[in-house]
């Protein structure tokens, strides 16, 4: 029997409780979720954390405030990013979507800051941070970029930097700041302009601010800081290699045990000669790319299609997706054909569109989808892709590769490692896997080689590797628990509908289901109306908040959280306001069944 801690019940408490880098937050009642979406202080003032792409972690907020105070101007705000390339993408996005009140208010600039010890040690590495500075009223636009792309900085990285700065402030009251020569940009981008660099060897933060007045000027300064703890860089590199092999399905039992990993050419060739757990001949760790979040993996899969294919073509979003996937295709590309129902007749419509002469760049889908758990006919979509030469990108997060094999039918498979792969809900991560047997494989390798940056903070990789060692065993228990609960709910008179791969587009799911796989741990249910949904949710004695794939059962009023500003739009595709989504955990099965029966007993018919 797996012991799962009791869920926190206080609004705003971290999930898991007392976890500094938790990726969920307690919203124990239906009304709490509404208050959160409306920005009501009854909830927002109590939040210890939140899902990191939607709620910027307190460590990151604190670090950003301190850096903006040092290097920003009055009435400016800022957002931190892990690389110059990401910061430049944010600036381009803001130029497109931010409308300033008047010309001079609209300045968006990038400052580069490197945080390092006052007493450098060869064992310590400085931390580069890139600050996008903008008028305060542009924050919501910068936040959209943060949320949509998922190219965020790690809360552990922010904690590391804050400790460096705190240590320095205890050493000296006046940190030394000096300017450095600008580094060359990655190309001449749309908003690339000549840098204005200072020449003095030492200057105050106020002097730096005076030199930041010209629009699009980039600032480069070195902030000497101090930190006394070593980050296990060598081990984090091994952890990343282990993660890549585990995701590719080529990690051997010996490597799993001691992480005695090699990356020689001979080792890679041996990997490619065996099919591995995913059943794809030629697949190796080199075909796996790690990202700071699952959405980052999706964003960069999309960017790869634009680098290899005709970027002037629209993409296709097939099926109702997790919210930001559609936003990426709509806001960063040439347009998007949206087939929100994801049914077989929608494939007929897509085929008719292609037969009419329309050409598309790529098709993005989930298998199964979130939150309706629909599975598309991926084999038929593959036939269309081969005929009309477009990419297929499949998000396998919900099914996960212990249950389904979708890489065979895709050009790229993406996943949020934050979810069931990690399970502990204390670290963010994402992955992208290339199918080495597809037509555009080498071109995609070349595109990712030119675009890819390893932005995964080393400490996060260490946590992710440790968390995922028992991924398959946990997945099996979760599958069995979820199926038992869904069997109970599907036959209950108070439940209108259960969305679960065992009942929803079952034939398409079974077509890619592994022999020893299950139906996954996520399901959604509908009761008669919002009153009944509220009664059920408020009386369900499990963790309640955003995210999924946790080792503990986690529920949320999904549509309220994901689509509060577009509820009518979502309902067109069957995602109703009173839909409840449940991610099943590792708790004792009888306890879970009793818990759901109790919640159903609290539901009234009227």
DSSP per position, 501-516: TTTSSHHHHHTTB-TT
535: which residues sit within 8 A by CB, 6+ positions away? 602, 603, 604
For the entire predicted model, the pTM comes to 0.88
Pair (213, 321) in one structural domain = no
Looking at residue 379, the DSSP 8-state letter turns out to be: H
The per-residue pLDDT for 260 is 59
- For the chain, give the percent of residues with pLDDT over 90: 76
The per-residue pLDDT for 116 is 84
Model confidence at 29, pLDDT cuts 50, 70, 90, reads: very high
Cα torsion 328, 148, 367, 415: sign: positive
The per-residue pLDDT for 351 is 98
Cis peptide before 32 (omega within 30 of 0): no
Pair (90, 142) in one structural domain = yes
The alpha carbon of residue 407 and the mean position of all alpha carbons in its chain are separated, in whole angstroms, by: 20
The per-residue pLDDT for 189 is 29
Position with higher pLDDT, 5 vs 364: 364
The per-residue pLDDT for 122 is 44
The per-residue pLDDT for 182 is 34
Pair (462, 508) in one structural domain = no
pLDDT for residue 64 is more than 90: yes
- Answer whether 576's CB lies under 8 Å from 568's CB: no
Beta strand pairing status for 497-499 and 522-526?
antiparallel
Retrieve residue 27's tokens: 């919203």
- Answer whether 301's CB lies under 8 Å from 309's CB: no
Cα–Cα distances in angstroms (integers) from residue 541 to residues 75, 359, 597, in the given order: 45, 50, 11
Please check whether residue 377 lies inside any domain of the structure: yes
Pair (72, 41) in one structural domain = no
Pair (498, 386) in one structural domain = no
Please check whether residue 203 lies inside any domain of the structure: yes
Pair (434, 580) in one structural domain = no
The per-residue pLDDT for 187 is 33
Taking alpha carbons only, the member of 403, 394, 481 closest to residue 431 is 394
pLDDT in tens, 10-21: 999 999 999 999
- Answer whether 518's CB lies under 8 Å from 483's CB: yes
327: which residues sit within 8 A by CB, 6+ positions away? 144, 148
Looking at residue 404, the DSSP 8-state letter turns out to be: B
Cα–Cα distances in angstroms (integers) from residue 271 to residues 244, 251, 261, 342, 575, in the given order: 12, 9, 13, 36, 42
CATH number at residue 502: 3.90.1150.10
Instruction: Tell me what the mean pLDDT of segment 346-372 comes to.
Output: 97
The per-residue pLDDT for 266 is 66
Q: Which of 224, 244, 264 is the last residue of a domain?
A: 224
The per-residue pLDDT for 107 is 87
The alpha carbon of residue 427 and the mean position of all alpha carbons in its chain are separated, in whole angstroms, by: 11
Retrieve residue 347's tokens: 């494939």
d(CA 368, CA 398): 6
d(CA 177, CA 81): 20
Q: Which of 426, 447, 469 is the last residue of a domain?
A: 469
Model confidence at 208, pLDDT cuts 50, 70, 90, reads: very low
Q: Is 497 helix (H, G, I), strand (E, B) or coil?
A: strand
The per-residue pLDDT for 376 is 98
Please check whether residue 162 lies inside any domain of the structure: no
Pair (283, 412) in one structural domain = yes
Q: What is the average pLDDT value for the chain, to the nearest integer?
A: 87
Pair (254, 273) in one structural domain = yes
Model confidence at 308, pLDDT cuts 50, 70, 90, reads: very high
Model confidence at 462, pLDDT cuts 50, 70, 90, reads: very high
Number of separate domains in the chain: 3
Pair (184, 215) in one structural domain = yes
pLDDT in tens, 173-186: 444 433 333 333 33
Lowest mean pLDDT among 30-44, 218-232, 546-560: 218-232
Pair (426, 324) in one structural domain = yes
pLDDT in tens, 416-443: 999 999 999 999 999 999 999 999 999 9
d(CA 82, CA 129): 6
pLDDT for residue 358 is more than 50: yes
Instruction: Tell me what the mean pLDDT of segment 536-548 comes to.
Output: 97
Range of the domain at 562: 14-50+472-601
pLDDT in tens, 471-529: 999 999 999 999 999 999 999 999 999 999 999 999 999 999 999 999 999 999 999 99
pLDDT for residue 401 is more than 70: yes
Retrieve residue 535's tokens: 């009664």
Q: Which of 452, 469, 486 is the last residue of a domain?
A: 469
Please check whether residue 87 lies inside any domain of the structure: yes
Pair (209, 189) in one structural domain = yes
d(CA 311, CA 148): 19
The per-residue pLDDT for 214 is 38
d(CA 13, CA 374): 32
- For the chain, give the percent of residues with pLDDT over 70: 83
Pair (464, 448) in one structural domain = yes
Lowest mean pLDDT among 69-78, 362-371, 402-411: 69-78
CATH number at residue 318: 3.40.640.10
Q: Is 188 helix (H, G, I), strand (E, B) or coil?
A: coil
Please check whether residue 496 lies inside any domain of the structure: yes
């Amino acid at each position: 029997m797996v012991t799962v801690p009791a869920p926190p019940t206080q609004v705003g408490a971290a999930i898991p409780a007392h976890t500094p880098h938790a990726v969920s937050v307690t919203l124990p009642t239906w009304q709490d979720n509404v208050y959160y979406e409306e920005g009501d202080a009854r909830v927002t003032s109590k939040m210890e954390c939140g899902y990191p792409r939607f709620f910027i972690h307190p460590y990151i907020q604190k670090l950003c405030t301190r850096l903006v105070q040092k290097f920003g101007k009055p009435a400016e705000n800022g957002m931190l990013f892990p690389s110059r390339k990401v910061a430049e993408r944010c600036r381009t996005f803001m130029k497109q979507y931010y409308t300033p009140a008047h010309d001079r208010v609209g300045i968006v600039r990038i400052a580069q800051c490197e945080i390092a010890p006052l007493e450098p040690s060869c064992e310590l590495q400085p931390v580069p941070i890139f600050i996008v500075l903008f008028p305060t009223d542009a924050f919501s636009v910068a936040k959209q970029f943060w949320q949509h792309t998922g190219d965020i900085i790690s809360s552990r990285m922010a904690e590391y930097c804050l400790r460096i700065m705190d240590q320095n402030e205890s050493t000296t009251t006046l940190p030394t700041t000096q300017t450095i020569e600008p580094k060359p940009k990655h190309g001449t981008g749309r908003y690339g302009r000549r840098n204005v660099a200072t020449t003095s060897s030492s200057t105050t933060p106020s002097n730096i601010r005076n030199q930041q007045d010209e629009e699009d000027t980039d600032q480069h300064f070195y902030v000497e800081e101090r930190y006394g703890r070593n980050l296990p860089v060598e081990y984090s590199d091994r952890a990343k290699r282990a993660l890549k092999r585990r995701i590719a399905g080529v990690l051997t039992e010996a490597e799993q045990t001691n992480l005695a990993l090699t990356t020689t050419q001979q080792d890679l060739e041996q990997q490619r000669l065996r099919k591995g757990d995913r059943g794809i001949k030629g697949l190796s760790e080199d075909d796996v790319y790690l990202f700071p979040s699952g959405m980052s993996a999706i964003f960069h899969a999309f960017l790869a299609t634009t680098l290899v294919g005709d970027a002037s073509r629209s993409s296709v979003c097939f099926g109702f997706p997790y919210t930001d996937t559609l936003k990426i295709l709509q806001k960063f590309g040439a347009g998007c054909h949206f087939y929100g129902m994801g049914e077989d007749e929608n494939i007929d419509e897509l085929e008719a569109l292609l037969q009419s002469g329309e050409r598309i760049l790529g098709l993005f889908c989930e298998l199964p989808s979130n939150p309706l758990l629909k599975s598309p006919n991926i084999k038929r979509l593959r036939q269309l892709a081969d005929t009309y030469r477009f990419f297929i990108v499949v998000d396998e997060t919900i099914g996960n590769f212990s249950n389904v094999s979708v890489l065979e039918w895709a050009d790229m498979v993406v996943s949020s490692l934050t979810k069931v792969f990690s399970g502990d809900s204390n670290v963010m991560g994402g992955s992208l896997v290339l199918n080495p047997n597809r037509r555009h494989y080498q071109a995609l390798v070349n595109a990712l080689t030119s675009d890819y940056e390893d932005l995964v903070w080393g400490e996060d990789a260490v946590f992710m590797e440790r968390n995922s060692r028992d991924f398959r065993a946990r997945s099996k228990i979760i599958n069995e628990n979820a199926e038992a609960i869904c069997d109970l709910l599907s036959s209950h008179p108070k439940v209108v509908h259960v969305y679960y791969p065992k009942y929803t587009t079952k034939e398409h799911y079974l077509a890619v289901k592994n022999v020893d796989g299950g139906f996954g741990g996520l399901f959604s249910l509908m009761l008669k109306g919002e009153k009944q949904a509220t009664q059920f949710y408020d009386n369900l004695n499990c963790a309640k908040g955003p995210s999924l794939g946790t080792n503990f059962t986690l529920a949320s009023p999904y549509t309220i959280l994901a689509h509060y500003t577009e509820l009518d739009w979502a309902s067109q595709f069957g995602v109703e306001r009173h839909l409840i989504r449940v991610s099943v955990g590792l708790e004792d099965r009888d306890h879970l069944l009793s818990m759901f029966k109790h919640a159903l007993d609290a539901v009234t018919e009227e």
